Amino acid sequence: MPNEQEGDFAVLLKDRARLTKVVMASHPFDVVGWDGYLYPFTFNANDFEPITGTVHLPPPIHQTFEIRGYVVCTFAPRWLDHHPEAVKVPWAHDNTEADEVLFYVRGQFGSRKGVEPGSFTLHPQGIPHGPHPGTTLKSFDAQRTEELALMFDTQYPLQLTEEALALDDPNYPLSWMG
Ligand SMILES: [Fe+2]
């Protein structure tokens, strides 16, 4: 039920550490609903064509959503970098400003060994990672990838639930040792 009272109603707005008092002429709950933008959104990854170039381009070319606190990148089937000497897998990096979660949906993942459809990886910010041994050389002959994967880069560090910890593969960090 909306509250239709009229009068002076003080509302305290909090913006980080700052408080601002606003006085309204009617009760703030004088509403029957909110027609905002919180609705399910579908996105067909098959319709997404990431930009490609002569050399390997950084992850923002795959970015499909930006939400407060994280971005979503869609690694969709695509033609790969086309310079004759292009390295067609990502370079080693340590994403210093984001925790990086990857969900491998389908296909062969050119830069990784030991992941399969349904796998999740989590690379916390500041932890170096890159192509698995052998995948860089193998990438020279590739012209296209049919992989589909989703990446979530988060602004703040993630805390793992007990359920997530139970799925942890303790050998994953060793998988770069060849
Ligand atoms: Fe990464």
CA of residue 1 to ligand 1 center, whole Å = 49
Q: For the chain, list the domains and their CATH numbers.
A: 1-31 (no CATH), 45-171 (2.60.120.10)
Collapsing DSSP to helix, strand or coil, 144 comes out as: strand
CA of residue 100 to ligand 1 center, whole Å = 6
CA of residue 47 to ligand 1 center, whole Å = 24
pTM tops 0.85, yes or no: no
**What would the pLDDT profile of 138-167 be if each residue is shown by its tens digit?**
888 889 999 999 999 999 999 999 999 999
**Rounded distance between C-alpha atoms, residue 22 and residue 8, angstroms:** 10
Task: Please indicate whether residue 111 or residue 21 has the higher confidence score (pLDDT).
Answer: 21
CA of residue 118 to ligand 1 center, whole Å = 18
Nearest to 63 by CA among 94, 29, 98, 31: 98
CA of residue 86 to ligand 1 center, whole Å = 19
CA of residue 51 to ligand 1 center, whole Å = 18
CA of residue 115 to ligand 1 center, whole Å = 14
DSSP state, 59?
G
- Beta strands in 33-168, from DSSP E residues, in sequence order: 63-67, 70-75, 78-79, 99-106, 120-123, 144-145, 148-154
Nearest to 29 by CA among 46, 47, 45, 11: 11
pLDDT of residue 150: 95
pLDDT of residue 101: 96
CA of residue 135 to ligand 1 center, whole Å = 15
